[in-house]
Structure 1
Amino acid sequence: ARRVNLPPAPRPDGPWDSTEVTQPGEGRVDLGGIFVPGVEGMELRVEVAGDAIVAATVVLRDSAIQLQAFAAPKKEGIWGEVRDEIAAGITQQGGIIDEVEGPLGWELRAQVPVQLPDGTGGVQLVRFVGVDGP
């Protein structure tokens, strides 16, 4: 199926570029390439490689979201390429990928094979959402 580029949707709740807000650090945790809003009851875990934070995982109640920023050329985004790489990797693992139009553009909804604590096989439902910057 041929994909069509989706126009940027209005983003009243984010994500925003730092140039789109007056004080990006106010009420947010500065992780270098990402400012994460603080929410009561959330747990913030960071993944570090050397001196750099490469990912952050926010856990709130029964949900978790992993946040990552990728450097891209100024003129074009890389979400399409990253999405294809993620889909190929999950498919190689025996997972199932659906590419759907979401509120922020194209996203992946995946069923990723996992081993359950009792040793049996199962699937974890995962959603990949990407937003190319300005």
Structure 2
Amino acid sequence: MFGRKKAATGARESAAADAAAASTPPAEGPHDRSFIGDVREYYTDLGYGHIDLGSLVIGVPPGRDLNVALDPNGQPEFHVVTQVSRVIPRAFAAPKSAGQWRTMVSDMREQLEQQGADVSVVDGPWGRELVAELPGAVFRAIGVDGNRWTAEVRVMATPEVAEQAADEGREVFRHLVINRGDGPMPVKEQLALTIPEEIQSALTQARSQLAAQQQAQAFQQQMAAGGADRQATQADSGQQARAATAPAPTQEQAAPNPATQNQSAQNQAAPAQDAPSGPPRNEGRPAAPRRDGSAMDRLRDGDDL
């Protein structure tokens, strides 16, 4: 009986502690929108530019550019860019209890290792940071759980400036503002962005251009395949025509020579020494990198709008 009372008391104390934590703004961001009185004033005091996307407000430190690109699903994502780094902020719905970022790190690690990346998890200012070494690039994911949301930035850089890029990514991450909203959402679902009208127009045009390029590529591939089929058909027709016009063998040519026939049979039975035993292999050449249309591939290419 006394044990049950202690358990109930402990549960109440835990709930009170969670409520106190939720009502107390963190020492450093990312910040919940409820803790920021005036968003414009917040970034003006920092000397930052910013873009308000409804559920996510991104601050742009001095000397950096803000680009927008389409993800593999055709959805916009915003990049804070310098000559050193490319930083992609994102926000996700999360349960009231913490722990979603830990799960996300585990999932990313598994996916990246399947792609052949050298992946490690290191301690950062907010806890776990995932670092993946890729051919010619270093990918870093920084995240933290908030009030029913999880914030994340993904940082891409070349290996020689990876540490400087990590600092630039943390600077953007520290000043994100998240507006989760009160409505129910599936956990790990990315918070929907409200795109300004002028950017939406540019995205619509970019999608149209992308669709036209894909159609043109498909048409070129179809034409190339059709041309190969026509060449093969013409070659077969030429061989048939030559066979039809070839002179008939004379009686001496038609009579088999026993010695020649025996030698020919031996040659057919002997295995060809120079013939390959299977399909050609790319020995000594690296395997082509896998491209799964992920944000990482586009970041290496820098395909911005």
Maintained 8 Å contact 2:130/2:140: yes
Q: Higher relative CO (CA 8 A, sep ≥ 6), structure 1 or 2?
A: 2
Maintained 8 Å contact 1:59/1:65: yes
Partner of 2:143: 130
Maintained 8 Å contact 1:99/1:106: yes
Maintained 8 Å contact 2:60/2:66: no
Residues 11 and 125 of structure 1: CA distance in aligned 2, closer, same or farther (over 3 Å): farther
Query: Gaps spanning 5+ residues in structure 1: where?
Result: 1-9, 113-121
Runs of 4+, deviation exceeding 4 Å: 47-50
Within-5 A mapping of 1:25-64:
25-26=40-41, 27=43, 28-47=50-69, 53=76, 55-64=77-86
Query: Of Structure 1 and Structure 2, which has the larger fraction of its residues in strand?
Result: 1
TM-score scaled by length of structure 1? 0.71
Measured after TM superposition, the shift of residue 57 of structure 1 is 1.1
Are 2:19 and 1:19 aligned? no
The structure with the largest alpha-carbon Rg is 2
Within-5 A mapping of 1:1-134:
11-12=27-28, 14-26=29-41, 27=43, 28-47=50-69, 53=76, 55-112=77-134, 122-134=135-147
Measured after TM superposition, the shift of residue 129 of structure 1 is 0.6
Residues 26-57 of structure 1: CA distance to partner in whole angstroms, max 9, x if unpaired?
4331122211113233221234679x75x321
Identity among equivalent pairs (%):
33
Query: Gaps spanning 5+ residues in structure 2: where?
Result: 1-25, 44-49, 148-305
Alpha-carbon distance between aligned partners in 2 of 1:56 and 1:71, rounded to the nearest angstrom:
18
Query: Of Structure 1 and Structure 2, which has the larger fraction of its residues in helix?
Result: 2
Measured after TM superposition, the shift of residue 20 of structure 1 is 2.3
Moved more, 60-69 or 22-31: 22-31
Partner of 2:281: none
Aligned residues: 115
